[in-house]
Structure 1
Amino acid sequence: MRTGAARGYMGHFHEGGFYDSDAAFLRLIVPFVEDGLSAGEAVVLGYDDRKSELLRARLSDPSAVEFITDRGLYATPALAIATYRRLFEFHLAMGVEQIRIAGDVPHPGNGRQFEGWDRYESAVNTVWQDFPVWGRCLYDATTVSEAVVDVVERTHPHLITAPACRCASERFQEPPEFEELPPPPDPLEAGPPLVELVDRTPAEARRALIAIGSLRIDDKQLKALVHGISEATCNAANHGEPPITVRIWACSNRVVVSVHDYGPGPADPLAGLVPATSDALRPGWGLWLIHQLDIDTTLIRSADGFTVRLRVGTPVPHPPTAA
């Protein structure tokens, strides 16, 4: 039986909140954890080493909590969804009746970028509905931008201000109606691409990428990016509208690829975050496979079509003076 605010609730009970100090953070998270442990529930926390140590020092039995401090948990939105899903399946197989989770979603305030994580926060309202999950997403009000605050209010059905004080978010949008943040251009895109290919084969796109990337990024990054550009160009050819344009920008330790076609892009708001169907031969799998790679992937819809943007390497704060 589910306990606490999620008692009697079916699916993912998703709530968000803000704190402005370590003390405020602990007031919101410690009772959430302790109540779950007292009820015999699984508790999974995805915080960095500093916050994990804060919690270990305050919890009555930190050994009963599953701490995941590896940044890989939140490597990409699709990988985070898949990793949590495996954890949920494991705990349910062990007989747990509710799973409580909390962690730091990437954003500039904690040293990472927020692009794509707005889709994640919206998507988990749907993709985890088969599990008795209570997710508490806490954001540091001293570091988050107004755009992140806006997304939190629109992606969390419940907002919490104190351990026992929550309300319905008046601005919540169901996933089909959720309005994504417009992705900002990469600084490299301000200059001309090193390569522009129009209606060329995936093999030609791969060769061009290898010629450019082999001088700038490591083999692991290049292998992932080559896989990504191949899937993106095949996906555009099979499901988009011509012409299909591949552009590649690069500088030291950084490569940016865009694959653009004139179609509207996928209608499914979950495209790329979860497999579209159980049949790998049907539409939707290409974008999901790209999202499984360790690549910064952005889906961009615009008036002139649909773009898949792939990025690896060290971000640059402004356009380089020379490629």
Structure 2
Amino acid sequence: MNWTATGGAGHPAAEAFPHDALLYDTPEQLVATAAPFLRDGLAEGDAAVVVTRPENAAALRDALDDDPRLHVVDPGELYRNRTPGAITAVRRLAEQHTAAGAKRVRVLGEIEQGPDERGWLEWERYESVINEALAGWNLWGICAVDTVRVPQPVVESALRTHRQVVTPASRTPSPAFTPPEQLLRGLPVPREPLEDTHPRLEAADVADFIGLRHAVAAELAGLPAPADLVEDFLLAVDEMTSNAVRHGQPPVRLRLWTSPDRIVCTIADGGPGWDDPFAGYGPAHGEDLSRGGMGLWLARQLCDHVDISGGVHHPGDGGVSVRLTTFLR
């Protein structure tokens, strides 16, 4: 197959961001599709980057005869445990290689999505978001999915979040691809069992920010967690509480739970919430950070999970709630 595609800055035409799924059952199937993609890219002056499990990276190195132009990146370096950080890292990768003279950056990536539905949903959201978040960048991404190792829901989500499916012989539209805005609005908010228990701290009508921060900090002080993890969580609580007061409608309510493995806090108000399914995956005003709009973006980077319910996202009884979750490490 001739591995050419349009899309990205400097590549006018059809696809805003070429974002393909490669479903494979064996390492040989992966190499048969990915090696020509990377080899053709190098021949065209593109950078070629592999972000996979070590054994797959080694197989691709062999297939490309240890070409020194092939860049192998540790998945933990690029696909960080929080999805906004992964978007920033991929953009930085594009900037670095194009600044060094590459026409475009071809990335063969493989994400470890975690052992449960909570992680699967987070990375499905990421895979959908980057169809928009990486538009205009000199990138072509192929996401490899091992259909033997990963659960069936992850395979199905790959077909929903990638425009094209690639094999050694073809590159064809995914029959299940769902436009990102539609998919993001439809994703469920995972249930949090701690919310069925009595909260450790509850504020029914937030008015005293300083007092509230001290109260939350006092509840978290004795937890077996690194100090910087607790500080990050406190900052996220501050940002979301401030957002609720400035942009929502009273009363603003806060509830906090802790358990041996995680901290959970919900901040709720009576407002409509965000009418933007991509909110929080970049500053609200782009590169101009002086204009603010960073609260939800910061929260998504500071916490393991940020879930929004109510409002325009998941209409219910009125109002909107933001749930922050951080796992104790």
For the aligned pair, the TM-score class normalised by the smaller chain equals 0.7 to 0.9
For the aligned residues, what is the CA RMSD?
2.6
Give the aligned partner of residue 285 of structure 1: 294
In the TM superposition, what is the alpha-carbon distance from 1:106 to its structure 2 partner? 3.7
Identify the match of residue 165 of structure 1 among 167, 170, 179: 170
Q: Please, which runs of 5 or more residues in structure 1 have no aligned partner?
A: 316-323
Contact 1:52 1:69 in 2 (8 A): no
Give the aligned partner of residue 306 of structure 2: 297
Identity %: 32
| Offset from partner CA, 1:253-304 (integer Å, 9 cap, x none) | 4211121223232112210001221444657321112223253323334313
In the TM superposition, what is the alpha-carbon distance from 1:226 to its structure 2 partner? 0.8
Contact 1:221 1:313 in 2 (8 A): no
Identify the match of residue 80 of structure 1 among 72, 86, 98: 86
Of 79-88 and 298-307, deviating more is 298-307
Runs of 4+ in 1 over 6 A off after TM superposition: none
2:89 is paired with a residue whose SS is helix
Amino acid at match of 1:166: R
1:292 is paired with a residue whose SS is helix
Of 65-74 and 105-114, deviating more is 105-114
Give the aligned partner of residue 36 of structure 2: 31
- TM-score, normalised with respect to structure 2: 0.84
Contact 1:256 1:311 in 2 (8 A): yes
Q: Please, which runs of 5 or more residues in structure 2 have no aligned partner?
A: none
1:125 maps onto 2:134 in alignment: no
Alpha carbons of 1:63 and 1:246: their partners in 2 closer, same or farther (altered >3 Å)? Answer: farther
Alignment: residue pair count: 312
In the TM superposition, what is the alpha-carbon distance from 1:9 to its structure 2 partner? 5.5
Alpha carbons of 1:26 and 1:190: their partners in 2 closer, same or farther (altered >3 Å)? Answer: farther
Contact 1:258 1:309 in 2 (8 A): yes
Contact 2:61 2:70 in 1 (8 A): no
- TM-score, normalised with respect to structure 1: 0.86
Give the aligned partner of residue 66 of structure 1: 71
In the TM superposition, what is the alpha-carbon distance from 1:82 to its structure 2 partner? 1.0
In the TM superposition, what is the alpha-carbon distance from 1:214 to its structure 2 partner? 2.1
Of 173-182 and 98-107, deviating more is 173-182
Identify the match of residue 107 of structure 1 among 99, 105, 113: 113
Alpha carbons of 1:26 and 1:314: their partners in 2 closer, same or farther (altered >3 Å)? Answer: farther
The CA distance in 2 between the partners of 1:111 and 1:46, in whole Å, is: 23
Contact 1:52 1:67 in 2 (8 A): yes
Of 184-193 and 82-91, deviating more is 184-193
Contact 1:254 1:314 in 2 (8 A): yes
Give the aligned partner of residue 272 of structure 2: 264
